[in-house]
Amino acid sequence: MIPSKYRRDDNMSLLGDNTKQVQEAGNNAVQTQIGQQVNYYGASPSEVVKIAASVYTEMHSLALQNYADIATAIAKERVDALGENLFPRLEGIEGAMEHFKDPKFQILIKEAQISAIRSDRDEYLRMLSELLVCHIEKGDNRKVSAGITRAIRIVDEVDSDSLCALTIIYTLLNIFPVSGFITTGLSVMNSLFDSLKFTSLPKGDEWIDNLTVLGAINIRSGRFYDVNKIISERWDGYVCAGIPFDSDNYQKALSILSENGFDASAFVDNECMPGYKRLKTISRGRLLPQLHPIFDLYDKDKASIHTASNNFFKLWDEYETLKEIREWFEGIPVFFTINSVGKALAQTNGKRCYVGFPDLLH
């Protein structure tokens, strides 16, 4: 029970009619009545809203100014970073500064700066500088130039794994080792792909959608050829049976070499086919035309070619990155071609990752 000195008398509250009052209403229940409330500042509700709105607006303006100052500082920092990447690359490029007098190139620089401001990763700033350098070097080729210009505008929208995948495919389809020795060539390519694989290779097809939306690839019907077939056709100097040592065909091949000023040192032991010789080259296309008839003397027996191919890809899979890329390539769900925009992105990203990346834009 409430002590008598705190009980209401004649329906009047000791604390006034406008305050909250509580009365017992049974053993466990509490009955609450709320009267009109007055805020602590003595202002009516409408005045509270007015004051709050005023304070909120003032704080909003201050916040916007702070955000604007921060954004300006970040933008300047990114534009400066682009310049720090670009200027050293201009050294040694003959006539590079003449391009800065060209209004078209000045507009391109402005677009690169805008992309730099939108970029939140250092690798994109380095790519932008490479794209500008590439434009200086290839500006006379309008087809290449158009791809570079588009690439500058969208580079910050390419996801990292999409860019990595694009560069890996571009490299696999277009770059060959120079060495005529298989193990040396595979080791060099493994090191190259190690440098290019700056992030994990993507699964599924979201990366394909990203590249399609940005206009870097063109989707075609079907799927890619079997990756082993692609490699075998492009690296036919490695993936071959060759010529049996001391066979009649080997003697004929030596005669062709001699007629063209070469000796037996042009042949090496076939690392994929014991007892066989092959020319020290990665592909028939790398040979002088007058030496092409030697390829016609290679063993064409299907069993021999199958054995040589199996042994080659066993060697390939001994290199961790090469094995990973070959298995990943097999899972690409659709066939596509890399257009001029994608080539510009892949080329400049390759150059960013590996200084010695060859120039494939032409």
Domain boundaries, the chain: 66-156, 158-224+332-353, 233-315
Q: Dump pLDDT digits (tens) for 219-278.
A: 999 889 899 999 999 999 999 999 999 899 999 999 999 999 999 999 999 999 999 999
Quick check: helix, strand or coil at residue 178? coil
Give 12's pLDDT tier (boundaries 50, 70, 90): very low
Give 42's pLDDT tier (boundaries 50, 70, 90): low
Complete DSSP assignment for 207-267:
HHHHHHHTTSEEEESS-PPPHHHHHHHHTTTTSS--EETTSHHHHHHHHHHHHTT--GGGE
Distance CA 92, CA 88 (A): 9
Q: Where is average pLDDT lowest: 102-106, 172-176, 190-194, 291-295?
A: 102-106
Assigned token pair, 29: 């229940």
Residue 2 confidence (pLDDT) above 70: no
* Dihedral sign (CA 208, 209, 213, 218): positive
Phi-psi region of 297 (alpha: psi -120 to 50; beta: other; left: phi over 0): alpha
The residue whose two tokens read 């800065």 is: 100
Q: Do the Cβ atoms of 192 and 322 come closer than 8 Å?
A: no
Residue 93 confidence (pLDDT) above 90: no
CATH class of 158-224+332-353: mainly alpha
Assigned token pair, 228: 């082993």
What local confidence, expressed as pLDDT, does residue 18 receive? 42
CA 39 → CA 32, 33, 44, 46, distances in Å?
20, 18, 7, 11
Strand intervals (E) in the chain? 21-24, 30-33, 217-220, 243-244, 267-269, 276-279, 335-338
Q: In the predicted model, what is the mean pLDDT of the chain? A: 86
What percent of the chain stands above pLDDT 70? 86
Please name which of 170, 174, 171 lies closest in space to residue 217, comparing C-alpha atoms. 170
Assigned token pair, 349: 């990203």
What's the whole-number mean pLDDT along residues 111-137?
89
User: What is the b/e burial string over 159-183, where b = at least 16 CB atoms within 10 angstroms of the residue's CB?
Assistant: bebbbbbbbbbbbbeebbbebbebe
Q: Dump pLDDT digits (tens) for 152-200.
A: 999 999 999 999 999 999 999 999 999 999 999 999 999 999 999 999 9
What local confidence, expressed as pLDDT, does residue 291 receive? 96
More confident residue, 299 or 98: 299
Give 64's pLDDT tier (boundaries 50, 70, 90): confident
